[in-house]
Amino acid sequence: MNRTFRRYHRQIAIALSLPLFLSAITGIGYTIADEWLHQIELATFILNIHTLQIFRLQAIYPLLTGLGLLGLLITGLSMTGLFRKRPSG
């Protein structure tokens, strides 16, 4: 069972590495452009990339990313051993 969760965890992590990296970089870039540099046009462009609105995927992208993160959380927590039954005795 643990081996199966490791395989799923690895596959999900590989699939989500690029979208999560993109979200992290554009999230930081948006904050810098908007709050620090006060570049509204640049901040809007970065936000469009952050939500993938430039590819018209703004409706599905957050859902897929969120489901992927939930999958990583579930498989990761299951591998920690927190939910294993301990032998009584």
pLDDT tops 90 at residue 79: no
Q: Where are the domains of the chain?
A: 2-80
CA distance 11 to 57: 22
Q: What is the pLDDT of residues 10-67, one digit of tens each?
A: 999 999 999 999 999 999 999 999 999 999 999 999 999 999 998 888 899 989 999 9
Residue 12: count of CB within 10 angstroms of its CB: 20
Any residues with CB less than 8 A from the CB of 43 and at least 6 apart, and which? 30, 33, 34
CA distance 23 to 46: 10
| 40-50 helix and 2-31 helix, angle to the nearest 10 degrees | 170
Residue 23 tokens, joined: 């979200």
